[in-house]
Amino acid sequence: NCLLHVQKNEIRTFDSLDGLWTFVREPHNGGDIGIGNQWNTLDLDKFPNATVMPVPSAYNDIGTGSELRDHIGWVWYEKKEFVPLRDRNMRHVLRFASVNYFAVVYVNSEKVTSHTGGHLPFEVDVSSQIKFGAENKFTVAVNNTLSWSTIPQGDFNYQKLAQRNISGRILSRLPDGAVKNVGNFDFFNYAGILRTVQLVKIPSIHIQNINIVADHTGSFFFETAANNLDGIQVEVKMFDGDSNQVFTTNQTKAEGKLENAKLWWPRGMGDPNLYTLDVSLISDGELVDIYRETFGFRTVTWSDSQIFINSKPFYCLGFGMHEDFELIGRGFNQAVMTKDLNLLEWMGGNCYRTTHYPYSEERMFENDRRGIAVIVETPAVGLKGFSKANNNLHIKMLTDMIDRDKNHPSVFAWSLANEPVTSKKESRAYFKTLVDTAHGIDRTRPVTTVYGPTNFDNDETADLMDFICVNRYYGWYIDMGYIPWINQSVYWDISLWRETFHKPIIVTEYGADSIPGLNQEPSVDFSEQYQNEVIQETHHAFDALHKDHTITGEMIWNFADFMTGMTTTRAVGNHKGVFTRSRQAKIAAYTLRNRYLKRFDQTQLE
Ligand code: E9O
């Protein structure tokens, strides 16, 4: 089930289906998560209530009322598009880079596939459904309802017809048909077609998978798969960043060693050198397929206290982030992606975690190119139920995620989950399957989980991990207002995790909310001063923890303010950003920038 990234080259091409799609919303979910109306058989653009929806974008903030923003249940997207006759000899694969949460896909009214979960790509061969030289109808039904069996999880409540007593008095607090769906996580559940949609055209004999492992000694191994190799000659060529050919073979699988390989380094340690592997399939001297995969020579190792990249200690100066912006929500946007990575570099950052789901494929290539090291995280945020069904879905998402991102040198670790309730006994067996899955597919990267609700003395899973991530909020969720206590509390807490588990630790979240422009001296919570002081005090503890090799990195929560659902602790979203939601710096951004820039050059680290 490997999905290669889409590329255009001598043989391969694609039609983008991005743009304005026809859009119709069904009534709120009546508690039935099964398919609603069978509108795939109709022309949605003829519906009187049809409107348009940009793709890619979340749909929630595009409308004008709260109905669409707060919608729970089905929405329908439809696009009519010609498929040229000249392409009729190509395989046609319909590929979605991310649809949140549940998608059912139809081509010319016929169901072709369904998919569960946002933030990961899925595709389906539609060659036999497509009409060539004609207009085709693509329909996608999307449901955003979360429950305790989805990942991420959420609480679903539906008030059926209320009971009445004999005198007709209503016996229910909530009106008939009331639906409430609260995600068990702290960000808005942006829904719809969030990333690009492409009609991918590949030859009938084609490359299906490429797996490359290349380390800092110059050793490499690769393996490539095709759907059919009968009578096919394979040609593999490796090129360095200056397009010099450095290796070639006719095997689908080979290993070798490059003398003087130029390594991929995170920024602050060296240049992020990249190589390319060109895989060609040739039949009777003619090129039938070609695919070019970029990769890097680099090694990730870890001791009981540190993480090393190419045998050199790596200290993460990082961020928790979100794919989140005004209007588009979690929809992919090149301007937002580029601005965010530019700001991350301006801050002197070298690292981030894809909180709390895999980020866009475009962004993974940018991380490679810029030398930004990333921990890629599954969509499993805030897990508190550990059923077999959850486990299977989680394993599938983890597998798809590693499959998608395995050849990116910037990815240095896999995060299985954020803040699971792993004090529950049954979580151990559950997490064991995930660790084994990740190690089974990828031996070259460490596996971690990000701990929040559990402590060093009650977590059932942390010893299974290669390194440990911990989120801690002294001065905010704990001891609000007691800034002078932060230093000792953070040191105490984190050093006990380390003493208990003897693993490297990254503190992956700390921080405080601030409303931009709210100034208070002396500081009070929600002022820019308070946020800044919490961060400065936490840094004192980090310096001591770094010095004695207790932590191998730090990540602020959060890079920028982001939207959440409505709760009493959120005023138009979470304001723990060091940037505002429109990416303007708060006071804390300068504190962090000073700190990261001072530590940016990592070549002297011990
Ligand atoms: C996950 C992140 O998505 N961690 C949360 C972040 C937050 O700002 C959220 O945005 O709330 C922190 C959870 C910390 C909870 C600690 C509670 C301790 C009570 C004693």
| ipTM for the whole complex | 0.97
Please report the pLDDT score of residue 173 as a whole number: 87
State residue 421's pLDDT score.
98
CA distance 24 to 78: 9
Instruction: Please give the Cα distance from 530 to 562 (Å, whole number).
Output: 19
Query: Residue 33 pLDDT more than 60?
Result: no
Tokens of 250: 């006719």
DSSP H or E run through 211? strand 207-214
87 pLDDT exceeds 50?
A: yes
Ligand 1, atom 6, residue with closest C-alpha:
186
49/309: higher pLDDT: 309
- CB-based contacts of 459, cutoff 8 Å, min separation 6: 422, 423, 451
CB under 8 Å to 109, separation ≥6 — which residues?
Answer: 40, 41, 137, 139
Active site residues: 419
In this prediction, residue 36 carries a pLDDT of 67
pLDDT digits (tens, 9 = 90+) for 147-182: 999 999 999 988 777 788 899 888 888 888 888 999
Distance from the alpha carbon of residue 143 to the mean position of ligand 1, in angstroms: 27
**What is the distance in A from the centroid of ligand 1 to the CA of 238?**
45
The three-state secondary structure class of 356 is coil
> If you compute the radius of gyration of the chain from its CA atoms, what whole number of angstroms results?
25
* Nearest protein Cα to ligand 1, atom 13: 452
Which tokens go with 436?
């084994």
Distance 512 CA to ligand 1 centre (A): 10
Pocket test for ligand 1, best of 381, 476, 531, 557 (most atoms within 8 A of CB): 557
319-338 residue pLDDT tens: 999 999 999 999 999 999 99
Helix (H, G, I), strand (E, B) or coil at 251: coil
At residue 180, φ and ψ (nearest 5 deg) are -135, 130
CA distances from 37 to 46, 140, 233 (A): 16, 12, 49
Cα 523 to ligand 1 centroid, rounded to whole Å: 21
Please report which confidence band the pLDDT of residue 1 belongs to, taking 50, 70 and 90 as the band edges: very low
Task: Give 93-116 as a DSSP string.
Answer: EEEES-EESEEEEEETTEEEEEEE
- What is the position in ligand 1's atom list of the atom closest to the CA of 576? 8
Q: Whose CA is nearest to atom 2 of ligand 1?
A: 186
The 3-state DSSP class for residue 342 equals helix
Instruction: Say whether pLDDT at 35 is over 90.
Output: no
By most ligand atoms within 8 Å of CB, the mutation choice from 574, 575, 578 for ligand 1 is: 574
Whole-number Å distance between alpha carbons of 507 and 472: 7
Work out the percent of the chain whose per-residue pLDDT is above 70: 98
Atom 19 in ligand 1: which residue has the minimum CA distance? 477
| Residue 168 confidence (pLDDT) | 86
For residue 428, report the phi and psi dihedrals to the nearest 5 degrees: -65, -50
How remote is the CA of residue 465 from the centroid of ligand 1, in Å? 21
Among protein residues, the one whose CA lies closest to atom 10 of ligand 1:
186
Instruction: Name the average pLDDT for the chain.
Output: 96
Side chain identity at residue 341, one-letter code: L
What does the pLDDT average to over 80-90? 96
Pocket probe mutation, ligand 1, options 419, 421, 493, max atoms within 8 Å of Cβ: 419
Q: Would you state the pLDDT for residue 31? A: 52
Tens of pLDDT, residue by residue over 413-432, are 999 999 999 999 999 999 99
Three-state secondary-structure class, residue 201: strand
- Testing ligand 1's pocket by substitution, the residue of 473, 474, 482 carrying the most ligand atoms inside 8 A of its CB is 473
In the chain, the percentage of residues whose pLDDT exceeds 90 is: 92
Q: For ligand 1, atom 1, which residue shows the shortest CA distance? A: 186
Residue 35 token pair: 């398919």
Per-residue pLDDT reduced to its tens digit, 228-262: 999 999 999 999 999 999 999 999 999 999 999 99
Distances (CA, A) of 183 to 156, 331, 431, 585: 9, 19, 22, 29
Residues lining ligand 1, Cβ inside 6 A = 186, 356, 419, 452, 471, 473, 477-478, 509, 557, 574, 576
CA of 350 to the centre of ligand 1 (A): 23
Is the distance from CB of 453 to CB of 472 less than 8 angstroms? no
How many Å lie between the centroid of ligand 1 and the Cα of residue 477?
7
For residues 454 and 423, is the Cβ–Cβ distance under 8 A?
Answer: yes
Distance CA(310)–CA(299), nearest Å, equals 5
Q: Please state the rounded mean pLDDT for residues 570-592.
A: 98
What is residue 518's three-state secondary structure? Answer: coil
Nearest Cα residue to atom 7 of ligand 1: 186
Contact 201, 242 (CB under 8 A): no
- pLDDT at position 34 is 55
Q: Per DSSP, what are the bridge partners of residue 526? A: 514
DSSP string, 162-199: PPB-TT--B--SS-TT-EEEEESSSS----EE-S-EEE
Decide if pLDDT at 137 tops 90: yes
Range with the lowest mean pLDDT among 2-11, 212-221, 294-303? 2-11
Token pair of 101, please?
């949460």
Distance between CA atoms of residues 509 and 451, nearest Å: 10
- Report cis status (omega within 30 of 0) of the bond before 451: no
